[in-house]
Amino acid sequence: MPAVLKGIIQMTNRYIKFPYTVGEQANIKRQFAAMSGFPNVIGAIDCTHIAIRAPYVDEFIYVNRKHVHSINVQIICDANLTLRNVVARWPGSTHDSFILAHSSVGNRLRAGAVRDGWLLGDSGYPLRRWLLTPFSNPQSAEEVRFNDTHTRARSVVERAIGLKCRWRCLDASGGRLLYQPKKVCQIIMVCAILHNIALMNGIPVPPDLPQHQHEEPDPHPPPQQEGHHQGARLRQEVMRHL
């Protein structure tokens, strides 16, 4: 690994930190509530694909559902677009929910690391006590209101993903990265760290960035998993209080 990439990646834990403590979560919850009206949100989650050249080994597993070779990258951000978790190691054919289930954040949340708070994800994720998704087919005005509020709060992760246009090497409009997957993943993590450093130092996003194209969730959502019913009850409770 080149020295510059290695040096920046060694700072990952310093600049990309998930809010596990009550103190860290409190301010994030306030910001999401002020911005959207959705309570107790500790982060918004989504995945995005970074296009790559077809690799020499296991080429087929890097082909995503749009028939493009890519790395599928998990992003969790707060209301200020700060990246709180980035997972860049899975090939493009990997489902978003699989990446979460095999990430350190997913494992810790499943184990109960956060007792009072949740992520917001799209319908490509399983509904859990700690991950609230929209109603797939809203039947009432309350469910429509929940989905609208959920969308407003979760939109920050789409804006955070859109900031990959700041680093044109990550955006399809800048072509595709011509390195092998391991180095591409290192470049992605470096860009994520530099993004957070830029925000911390008040460096604005360039005003002429191209508009990020929203990526629709996988048309084949994951099957119901353990914790689905608890998540469904919690979603109903939140809906009644919006």
The per-residue pLDDT for range 193-224, each reduced to its tens digit, is: 999 999 999 987 766 655 555 566 666 666 66
In this prediction the pTM is 0.92
Instruction: Give the separation between CA 153 and CA 35, rounded to whole angstroms.
Output: 7
107 or 167, greater pLDDT: 107
Tell me the three state secondary structure of residue 109.
helix
Residue 36: predicted pLDDT = 96
Residue 164: predicted pLDDT = 79
How many residues comprise the chain? Answer: 242
Residue 33 has pLDDT above 60, yes or no: yes
Region 48-58 average pLDDT:
94
Question: What residues form DSSP beta bridges with 49?
Answer: 72
Whole-number average pLDDT of the chain: 90
Residue 23: predicted pLDDT = 93
Residue 169: predicted pLDDT = 83
pLDDT tens-digit series, residues 95-150: 999 999 999 999 999 999 998 999 999 999 999 999 999 999 999 999 999 999 99
pLDDT band at 226 (very low <50, low <70, confident <90, very high): low
Percent of the chain past pLDDT 70, that is, above it, reads: 90
Amino acid at 77: C
Nearest to 103 by CA among 79, 81, 121: 121
Percent of the chain past pLDDT 90, that is, above it, reads: 77
Q: Are 33 and 108 in contact (CB under 8 A)?
A: no
Region 142-166 average pLDDT:
91
Region 34-55 average pLDDT:
96
Q: Are 36 and 29 in contact (CB under 8 A)?
A: no
CB atoms within 10 A of CB 127: 24
